[in-house]
Chains A and B, each alone.
Chain A
Amino acid sequence: MTTDNESTTTLDPVTTSSASPSLADDQPQRRYQVLRRFYRNKLAVAGLVVIILLYILAAAAPLISTHAYDELTFGARNLPPSSEHWMGTDRNGRDVYSRLVKGGQVSLAAGFAAVAIVMTIGIILGAAAGFFGGFVDAVIMRTTDILLAIPLILLLITAASLFRPSLSTTIIVIGVASWPGAARLVRGQFLALKGQEFVTAARAIGASPWRIMLRHLFPNSLAIIIVETTLWLSYAILLEASLSYLGLGVQIPTPSWGNMLRDGQSELLFGAWWLTVFPGFAIFITVLAFNLMGDGLRDAFDPRHQDR
């Protein structure tokens, strides 16, 4: 799916060539089949479990922390992990574990919010482009062409750096810069569905475009949208971490996994491995879990591509 932390989900031929709509009547039985296929995929289930765990931990951050995440302790610089500080302390004597948990809250929430923006814009514009076609489609597609011509990381760095970097800037920038991928996917799906008989039938009986979109096209695109959302979540978290690592995302003293890595980097030279290993591992596990789950969902929704 991703390479060099760039998402090209829409270009994976497996997804595009096997988009399979189903009729609304089939829903309950199909849902059951989908779930069953998902549960058979051990890796995907593992991913789901990890994600649920992470979100619970993040939500419960204040309860499971051992110290206040911003509490400084003079004289406790860069202590290695111990029973007092489970993951050691950082340069300012703050407890790494508590910061990790709080940072998880920040990173996961940021990822979620960013993806919400991406999917909202992407679905609306993609649906409009796919359904209405013609001029609307052309305008939207040209805009995506332009936005996709700039490497995402470069665009994000430029935007985040030039406008004041902060958590909200990060979320908005990721959301606004990344929607083209999602839009294209939804557009493709709507295009494929548009030609189906049930749409022609609906049109024949005089259903309004909104009704067609909401009641027919959208529910049948849910599968793809869900898969895309999950995969985008993993990517958004990685993007936020990258930006924070560069100093353009969440700003200190608010912890985020990315800026904890940045802070810890300067101490790595002098042996403080716990400052980089733990946050980096947290990012890794989260992204992995979302990837596994997204992949599992993709397989569950579409058995024909026989990948697993």
Chain B
Amino acid sequence: MSNYRDSSGQKRFQVLSRKTLTKMANRRQILAATAGVGAASLLGTQAFASPSRQAAYQRAAAQEELSIIIGTLGEAPTINPFKANDSEENWRCVQLFDELLRIDPVTYEPIPGVASDFTLDGLTLSLTIHPDARFSDGSDVTADDVKFTIEGMLNPATASIRQAKYISIAGAQEYIDGSADSVSGVTVVDPKTVTIELAEPDAAILYNMRFVRIVPKAQLEGKDLASDPWFQNPVGAGPFAFESWTTGADFVMVRNEHYFEANKPAIQRVTHRVIADAQSLVVALLNNEIDGSNYPSPSGKAELEANPDLVVMVPPFNSANGWMFNTRHELLANRDVRRGITMALDRAQFAADALLGLGEPAVGPIAPGSWAFDTTLEPLPYDVDAARELIKGAGAEGAQIKFVVNAGNIQREDWLIYTQQALQEIGIEVVPETSEWATLVSAVTERKEFEVCGGDFAGVTAEPSELFEDFHTEGTSNYSSYSNPDLDALLEQARVTIDVEEAKPIYAEIQKILVEEVPFMFAWYRPFLHTINQKWTGYTDSGQEGLFYTLKDWTAAE
């Protein structure tokens, strides 16, 4: 106990008698103990009385409106349809603004959207806007709004990433150059009819009409479409209207009462909730904290399927991952080196193991769901000995090559780790690197500073003519700097071939060349699990667009 010694070391009387101290300390201890027990019991009763799993449904039942909570990864940076880029931004814009022409979720063919009728005759595209199409503030959607939107996307000041998609319209180039005040090829025939003249045939023009997300000219004329505050509280013609957005948390939309499709949507409130990572999404789904999501981690498949409230779907494959080779690198410029690397990697094994058997080895640049996909296509075989010969023959044995992926993507990280070990067998020393997403994108897209890069920087699902941008010598997204005159000719031809049957053999040839030359090794498809609570019905799953593309058609199951 507390014995006090003064500075001379002499033992003095006890500072505080043991009894007093004990009494004081005891009283405090008792107080603390009581408080502790009280808190614990409170916590205990609460926990057992209403476990969090039930809470979500208790609330929903109490309210009368039909409300859905959708979980998403990663916050969308913007809902400006001129700037929207990634899948979540696109989805939000579709719900808020709808599309001039939509695409079928399964076949990706253009179908009527805000334009109820369309005809493409040679170089002339006529669109009839639905007579009931209205913005969420009640005003009519007119052809003027359509023309305004298209011009907005072409305007260089907006710096819209979709600009290149409408270059084929007559007068577009003059408008971009500034020699014309408006795009001559877009004509307002009457308030509900638009005619678009093309300067040259464009196989993708119907598909690209889906990116025309109409904004009201009356409210935006003369404003800066890149950054006007209007976009913080936008008005669109889509099935849902913007209500609120707490960044990093909930993005809330409510039903657009003026929507042109009768009795739709059935859902009155949509909450798009950002959840930090794919594992937490699985947990949130299992706990009924959210109704559905496109992105739960595939490793949670067993748990999700075992849950009686959830429906789990594996969508058709969409994004092909692999290795993109920088063909300006002295070794990688040699086709044999690229082929050697490709043949040393066992895609089937990787897909079975690291992708949990959900992913599959990929073949070429076009996803299996597309009409242009060549089913007879054969990938390069997995043959370590042949690979070794190729590498030796090219004089690349012992070479050090940098392979980079973006940090945080588990499957791509695993792919890098696997590649490092596999290529040791053929004498290539992989220098592995993980880079933060923003840095990687900057290095690859802007400066093309990389040797081998993992990711889905190339490859198409719905519209095959986009391959032009990926692999043509003049392509705007040709980051591998691949140049092949034969391929160029084929890509140019495919781009203007409107008839699907005519285009198929051209694309078959294109795919073959890409597989043989392998500027980009298409190795595996990334697996997704689309999960939804069984209380919902009316949905159509889509590989490219996800589960919630057709949200306006959904209803509550009986």
Bound-state CA distance A12–B504 (Å) is 75
Closest to B414 in A: A92
Bound-state CA distance A252–B297 (Å) is 20
Bound-state CA distance A253–B85 (Å) is 31
Bound-state CA distance A252–B410 (Å) is 11
- Decide if B420 touches A165 in the complex (CB within 8 Å): no
Q: Is the CB of A137 closer than 8 A to any CB of chain B?
A: no
- Decide if B436 touches A161 in the complex (CB within 8 Å): yes
Closest to A165 in B: B436
Residues B395-428 near A (CB distance < 8 A):
407-408, 410, 413-414, 416-418, 420-421
A266 with B421, Cβ < 8 A, contacts A77-B353, A253-B416, A253-B432 known: no
- Decide if B279 touches A252 in the complex (CB within 8 Å): no
Q: Is the CB of A71 closer than 8 A to any CB of chain B?
A: yes
Q: Is the CB of B150 closer than 8 A to any CB of chain A?
A: no
Q: Is the CB of A32 closer than 8 A to any CB of chain B?
A: no
- Report B278 CB to chain A, min CB distance, Å: 7
- Decide if B349 touches A74 in the complex (CB within 8 Å): yes
Closest to B346 in A: A74
Closest to B435 in A: A164
- Decide if A269 touches B408 in the complex (CB within 8 Å): no
- Report B304 CB to chain A, min CB distance, Å: 11
- Decide if A92 touches B354 in the complex (CB within 8 Å): yes
Q: Is the CB of B10 closer than 8 A to any CB of chain A?
A: no
Residues B297-322 near A (CB distance < 8 A):
297, 299-300, 302-303
- Decide if A269 touches B279 in the complex (CB within 8 Å): yes
- Decide if B408 touches A247 in the complex (CB within 8 Å): yes
Bound-state CA distance A252–B416 (Å) is 9
Q: Is the CB of A72 closer than 8 A to any CB of chain B?
A: yes
Bound-state CA distance A72–B302 (Å) is 24
Q: Is the CB of A270 closer than 8 A to any CB of chain B?
A: yes
Closest to A247 in B: B407
- Report A90 CB to chain B, min CB distance, Å: 10
| Binary B-proximity of A136-171 (CB < 8 A = 1, otherwise 0) | 000000000000000000000000010011000000
Q: Is the CB of A251 closer than 8 A to any CB of chain B?
A: yes
Q: Which of B349, B354, B413 contacts A252 (CB 8 A)?
A: B413
Closest to A161 in B: B436
Bound-state CA distance A91–B434 (Å) is 18
Q: Is the CB of B376 closer than 8 A to any CB of chain A?
A: no
- Report B287 CB to chain A, min CB distance, Å: 12
Q: A residues within 8 A CB of B283?
A: 269
Q: B residues within 8 A CB of A77?
A: 353
Q: A residues within 8 A CB of B302?
A: 270
Residues A17-65 near B (CB distance < 8 A):
none
Q: A residues within 8 A CB of B407?
A: 165, 247, 251-252
Bound-state CA distance A75–B410 (Å) is 17
Q: B residues within 8 A CB of A252?
A: 407, 413, 416-417, 432, 434
- Decide if B420 touches A253 in the complex (CB within 8 Å): yes
Bound-state CA distance A72–B345 (Å) is 14
Closest to A268 in B: B279
Q: B residues within 8 A CB of A270?
A: 299-300, 302-303
Q: Is the CB of B154 closer than 8 A to any CB of chain A?
A: no
Q: B residues within 8 A CB of A161?
A: 436
Please, could you name 9 A-B residue pairs with CB atoms under 8 Å apart, sorted by A?
A92-B418, A164-B435, A251-B433, A252-B416, A266-B297, A266-B299, A269-B279, A270-B300, A270-B303
Residues of chain B touching chain A, judged by Cβ–Cβ distance below 8 Å, are: 277-279, 282-283, 297, 299-300, 302-303, 349, 353-354, 407-408, 410, 413-414, 416-418, 420-421, 432-436, 439
Q: Which 4 A-B pairs have the closest CB atoms?
A: A251-B434, A269-B279, A247-B407, A74-B353
Residues of chain A touching chain B, judged by Cβ–Cβ distance below 8 Å, are: 70-72, 74-75, 77, 91-92, 161, 164-165, 247-248, 251-253, 265-270
Beyond known contacts A252-B434, A269-B300, A269-B303: 12 more, CB 8 A cutoff: A72-B418, A77-B353, A91-B354, A91-B410, A165-B407, A251-B407, A251-B432, A251-B434, A269-B283, A269-B297, A270-B300, A270-B302
